[in-house]
C-alpha cells in the first residue's frame, strides 16, 4: 500500500514545550491517521525527528509499503537523505532509530515549503496548545522508551566525565552567638 505522509515538529522556546505531528493519507487524499504528540521539553529539531519516527511507526501499523513523505524541515530531509552530516549526538541517535524503522519501506522524501505543510503544523500547534497529544487513529502500541536515548549531560568534548567526589572537610562547630541580654559596658574598651 502506498501512502502520503506530511510531518512537522515545533518547539515554543526552542528548547521548550513542543510537539511532533504527522498526517498519513491514502494516495486519493483520505486521512488514514493523524497525531500531534506533545513533548514537554524539546528543541525544534528533536520534534521534527520525532514526527518522522512516529509516522514510520504508524505507517507500519497501517501496513504501508511505499511512503511519500513531505517535510518543511530542510535539515531533516537533507540529513535523512545523507546529504548533510549529523553533528549533534542526540540527533544522530534519533536518526539511527529512524533508519531502523525506515528499513522495510520504500521511501520517497522531499522538502516542501511551509504553506504546503499546513496540516501537520496545525496538529502540532493544537497539541502544544492543549499540552497533550491529540489525534485520529493514533499509534496503538506507542513505544514506552523515551523518544531517543537521553542526552548524556556528562559528555564534554566528546568524552564522558563523571562528578568528582572530594572528601568534605570536617565542619567547625558554629561560633556562639552573643546573647541578646544587655551587656555590662566595658569601662576600659576605648582606652
pLDDT, one tens digit per residue, over 25-52 is 999 999 999 999 999 999 999 999 999 9
Q: In percent, how much of the chain has pLDDT > 70?
A: 75
Homologous superfamily, domain 2-136: Ribonuclease H-like superfamily/Ribonuclease H (3.30.420.10)
The pLDDT, as a whole number, for residue 148 is: 45
Other C-beta atoms within 10 Å of 56: how many? Answer: 26
- For the stretch 67-112, pLDDT in tens is 999 999 999 999 999 999 999 999 999 999 999 999 999 999 999 9
pLDDT band at 145 (very low <50, low <70, confident <90, very high): low
The pLDDT, as a whole number, for residue 175 is: 64
d(CA 114, CA 109): 15
- pTM across the whole model: 0.76
Q: Whole-number mean pLDDT of the chain? A: 85
Amino acid at each position: 500500500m502506498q501512502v502520503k505522509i506530511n510531518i512537522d515538529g515545533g518547539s515554543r522556546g526552542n528548547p521548550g514545550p513542543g510537539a511532533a505531528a504527522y498526517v498519513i493519507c491514502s494516495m486519493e487524499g483520505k486521512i488514514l491517521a493523524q497525531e500531534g504528540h506533545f513533548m514537554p521539553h524539546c528543541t525544534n529539531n528533536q520534534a521534527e525527528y520525532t514526527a518522522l519516527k512516529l509516522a514510520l511507526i504508524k505507517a507500519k501499523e497501517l501496513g504501508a509499503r511505499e511512503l511519500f513523505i513531505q517535510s518543511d524541515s530542510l535539515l531533516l530531509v537533507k540529513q535523512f537523505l545523507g546529504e548533510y552530516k549529523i553533528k549533534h549526538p542526540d540527533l544522530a541517535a534519533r536518526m539511527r532509530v529512524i533508519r531502523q524503522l525506515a528499513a522495510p519501506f520504500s521511501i520517497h522524501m522531499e522538502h516542501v515549503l511551509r504553506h504546503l505543510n499546513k496540516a501537520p503544523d496545525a496538529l502540532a500547534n493544537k497539541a502544544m496548545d492543549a499540552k497533550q497529544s491529540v489525534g485520529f487513529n493514533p499509534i496503538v502500541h506507542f513505544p514506552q522508551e523515551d523518544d531517543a536515548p537521553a542526552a548524556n549531560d556528562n559528555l564534554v568534548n566528546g568524552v564522558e566525565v563523571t562528578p568528582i567526589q572530594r572528601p568534605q572537610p570536617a565542619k567547625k562547630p558554629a561560633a556562639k552567638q552573643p546573647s541578646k541580654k544587655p551587656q555590662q559596658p566595658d569601662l576600659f574598651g576605648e582606652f
